[in-house]
Structure 1
Amino acid sequence: MTRQSQGRERRGSFWKDNSLTLAFGAAFLLTFLGQALAGHAEFNEQLAVDDLQSLSLGEYMMSSDFAVDVTENWQSEFLQFFLYIFGTVWLVQRGSPESKKLHEKGPESDRDQRMGDHAREDSPRWAGTKDWRQLVYSRSLGMLMGLLFVLSWLAQSISGVAAHNEQQLRQLQDPISWGSYLVSPEFWSRTLQNWQSELLAVAAMVVLSVYLRQRGSPESKPVGAPHSATGLEG
């Protein structure tokens, strides 16, 4: 095999081996741009009603109005995964591939998790340690999702109070503090409407996957698996 054909094979392998991440990453960028374009048009319509100068797309994307719309969605997504990752350690759903097997709830043994003395040659290095590194690494996914949730929630609250105060000033009203915004109906209305939609989606996926199938998907049981089968992936 020539070096050129090997290079083509490596490039093809990269796109194939990472197609799930790349597809969703591209979809994210497209929807992010679409949100920016639609939000920019809507925001300038509001400015025109108030007889104010319109903003360029770049100016709008740097504004607090755009930031709060983006971060309020991000924080709810990270909250969903944070709760789901930690919740599925102890909570189970009979018949769902989204659940562990009923007898496996809990953190499981070191042998089952390939930790400490049970780590293998190809295990991550920190999995074979017996100190704080193993403690951190064994919970690193949930911890990172929790941190991303807190950071995006903080960004939402900061950009939200800035956007709120800009609106207050346009209406010749006094701005409010960050603390006052955190207990305001506007903040919690924006926050809770995102939380409830994410939690509903997770609950629906867990329950519907008990009875419905999607051939070839790891999020579904095999098509012929009984409804009572738990923790199976197709």
Structure 2
Amino acid sequence: MTADRGRRRGFWQENSLTLGFGAAFLVVLAAQAVAGRAEFNEQLAVDGLQQIGLGDYLMSSDFAVDVTENWQSEFLQFFLYIFGTVYLLQRGSPESKPLHKVGTESDREQRVGDHARSDSPRRAGTKDWRQIVYSRSLGLVMGGFFLLSWLAQSIAGVAAFNELRLRELQEPVGWGSYLASADFWNRSLQNWQSELLAVAAMAILSVYLRQRGSPESKPVGAGHTATGVEG
């Protein structure tokens, strides 16, 4: 019985980062749905239209576009960060690789091919296309998530945009026309600029500021010029 409790505690502790942020995501998403529905119903009341319930709002294009436009910007941030940090460096930042490791690094450093170890993923030990794809799989998946969520944003966005146009007795527009519209690009760019600013700020501030115990920070006593060192 004690061993079972220990294993359960071990599972929760060993996966607490993912589980904690996953749970927080669901709570915040639910809160967004409640607040979004209230705002949406306020607009409906202004237009003299019937208000909708939470279930209907969750199925609406208005909720979908608000969610997906944030998702795509987050996945874009990680996609650019993952690929960008292969070649882009910041002296003194734990967000950067050591300055002498710019590029994709050697097979020995990356433990691939003949340099794979017994605990290396199976694809790391191959010498064909499987290793090439696997060695870039994190960035590719993040890029794929970005494209899928951006596509979802465009589909939900054109539906929400056309609903608003119909309320104003205007003709709806097609998906292609919406992709060239100011509404679509304003939704996208306002998120992109904030994500890029956050990454740049984290890279430079972590040179001089510390957070004890965090792997996103250098050790408190590390020098400002120490690069690629995590606390």
Structure 2 length normalisation: TM-score?
Answer: 0.99
Give the aligned residue type for 1:50: D
Written as runs of structure 1 = structure 2, the 5 A alignment for 1:162-181 is 162-181=159-178
Compute the displacement of 1:52 (Å): 1.2
Q: 2: distance between equivalents of 1:55 and 1:138?
A: 48
Residue identity in the other structure for 1:41 = A
For 1:122 and 1:229, locate their aligned partners in 2 and report how far apart those are by CA, in whole Å.
30
1:12 matched residue in structure 2: 9
User: 1:95 & 1:18 partners in 2: Cα distance?
Assistant: 30
| Same amino acid, percent of matched pairs | 75
Give the Cα separation in 1 of the matches to 2:194 and 2:202.
12
2:135 corresponds to? 138
Deviations 1:149-175 (Å, cap 9, x if unpaired)? 000000000100000001111111100
The one-character-per-residue Cα deviations of 1:109-142 (angstroms, maximum 9, x if unpaired) are 0100000110001000100011111011000000
Alignment of 1:150-169 (within 5 A): 150-169=147-166
1:5 deviates by: 1.0
- Give, in whole Å, the separation in 1 of the partners of 2:198 and 2:49: 40
Aligned match for 2:109, one of 108, 112, 130: 112
* Whole-angstrom CA distance in 2 between matches of 1:192 and 1:175: 23
Structure 2 equivalent of residue 189 of structure 1: 186
Aligned length: 231
Tell me the secondary structure at the aligned position of residue 6 of structure 1.
helix
RMSD of aligned alpha carbons: 0.6
SS in 1 for 2:49: coil
Q: TM-score, normalised by structure 1?
A: 0.98
Instruction: Specify every segment of 5 or more residues in structure 1 that has no aligned partner in the other structure, as ranges.
Output: none
Give the gaps of 5 or more residues in structure 2.
none
